[in-house]
Amino acid sequence: MNNRRTIGYGALMLAFLLVISGCGSKSGGIVEDKINVMTTIYPIYEFTKEIGGDEVNVINLLPAGVEPHDWTPKSQDIVNTSKAQLFLYNGAGLEGWAPAFLKGLDKNTKVKPVEVSKGVKLISSEGDDGHGHGDEGEAEEQHDHHVDPHTWVSPKSALIMAENIRNSLVEIDPDHADRYEQRYAALKQKLEKLDESFSSQLSGLPKQEIVVSHQAFGYLARDYNLEQYAIMGLSPDAEPRAQDLVKLTKTVKEKGIRYIFFEELVSDKLAKTLASETGVETLVLNPVEGLTKEQEQKGDNYFTLMEKNLQNLTKALQ
């Protein structure tokens, strides 16, 4: 009798554990019977989920509300990535920690690292980007210019990134190639539509200059003929010099700029100071590096945030 009760209790516990862990056996987020993909930033995570569908388990390394420039991996991230099939990272210098991270993976790992920004024509920028590139023999030239890593902020670059994600999934899991192709085609269509909206709505506006809190909009500016003036450098931690702020104040007045853009994951203090000094207003321009907790709960995604960006740009450039 006692024995039967124990068996019954054990079966109940097992059923309960299966329910809370979902389908497939998991180990720290890894699902045994799926293609496990580790991603570093939110846009790559979103595109991979859209293309991967049910065949893929995607784990994003960055938690909600965290600025990617401030983040470094934990030991659990190394454990999970060692067990995954794909590690999709942006590249272009965004993840300064990536080379050491990949060296630290389990020596028997089968994970394939893929630089998702490959094929995007990269932009070089002056000033410190704060990404900590390590000393890959590039230290000399990096004092003068750095690569702008914020490729995904332009739908034109996002299209190239989505294609790289599709290719990596097809290569790692050819059995489901048709499904990946189909879902990629749907995502491509949405990105092309977004690109068309940006092109058509921004082309006929009276102004082209945008003042932003950090230099994250280089690709957007290049692809849609805008001119970006940034309070801070490529990293939101790079403090501006007094003379830069004086120059920027002058630019705002001379160009008749009516709005200064700030972003949710970065302190808005400098943008608001500059706005009050020049008598202009502030608006949000989101570099879509990650979602805030509120945006996550609201069901926001790359497309809703980019559409909001387009509305705010249209308003500011009148």
Angstrom distances, CA of residue 317 to CA of 6, 205, 206, 207, 277: 71, 6, 6, 5, 20
Asked if the model's pLDDT at residue 267 lies above 90, the reply is no
Whether residue 137 is predicted with pLDDT greater than 60 in this model: the reply is no
Q: What is the mean pLDDT of the chain?
A: 87
| Residue range 27-39: mean pLDDT, rounded | 89
Residue-wise pLDDT for 140-191, tens only, equals 333 345 899 999 999 999 999 999 999 999 999 999 999 999 999 999 999 9
pLDDT for 243: 87
Judge whether 68 and 41 are in contact, CB under 8 Å. Answer: yes
Asked whether residue 199 carries a pLDDT value surpassing 70, the answer given is yes
Name the one residue in this structure whose structure tokens are 């600025």: 67
| Model pLDDT, residue 139 | 33
- pLDDT (0 to 100) of residue 2: 52
Q: Which long-range contacts (CB under 8 A, 24 or more apart) does 195-199 make?
A: 195/155, 195/156, 195/159, 197/307, 197/310, 198/155, 198/223, 198/224, 198/310, 199/224
For residues 81-86, give the mean pLDDT.
98
Q: For 78-95, what is the mean pLDDT?
A: 96
Task: Point out the least confidently predicted range of 2-16, 42-56, 133-147, 192-206.
Answer: 133-147
Residue bearing tokens 């028997």? 108
| Angle, vertex CA 144, rays to CA 142 and CA 147, nearest 5 | 55
Chain position carrying tokens 């002058």: 250
Give the chain's end-to-end CA distance (angstroms, integer).
Answer: 80
Average pLDDT of the residues in 88-102? 95
Phi and psi dihedrals of 266, rounded to 5? -125, 150
pLDDT of residue 67: 75
Question: For 242-259, what is the mean pLDDT?
Answer: 92
